[in-house]
């Protein structure tokens, strides 16, 4: 696995945004970058991207296939469907204490 420090990885993430783009710079796979992020306890820079997620859901609801959406946003098909399925879940209601 590539020897990238936590500080380097954080800087690369700000510059390149995706694991795939970082991997291209070092000649390693997206999955290897993902493993490095997990090792260093760094979340994906795209993990909280509500506008992108809303766009994905809108495209899907308007008939665009999950595969086409994944390609457009450079995501895996499984990640695309995770975003779509999470949008269908109702938010958990907080129980009031008596």
pLDDT tens digits, 28-75: 888 888 898 888 888 877 666 888 899 999 999 999 999 999 999 888
Q: What would the two tokens of residue 3 be?
A: 């020897």
Count of alpha carbons within 13 angstroms of residue 56, beta-carbon side: 28
- Whether 90 shows a pLDDT value over 70: the answer reads no
Q: Which domains does the chain have, with CATH numbers?
A: 6-40 (no CATH), 50-88 (1.10.10)
Angle at 90 between CA 38 and CA 42, to 5 degrees: 10
């Amino acid at each position: 696995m590539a020897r990238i420090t936590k500080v380097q990885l954080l800087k690369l993430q700000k510059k390149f945004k995706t694991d795939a783009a970082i991997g291209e710079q070092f000649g390693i796979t997206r999955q290897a970058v993902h493993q490095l992020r997990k090792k260093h306890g760094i979340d994906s820079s795209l993990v909280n991207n509500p506008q992108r997620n809303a766009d994905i859901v809108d495209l899907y609801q308007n008939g665009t296939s999950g595969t086409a959406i994944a390609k457009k946003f450079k995501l895996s098909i499984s990640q695309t469907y995770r975003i779509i399925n999470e949008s269908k879940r109702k938010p958990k209601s907080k129980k009031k204490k008596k």
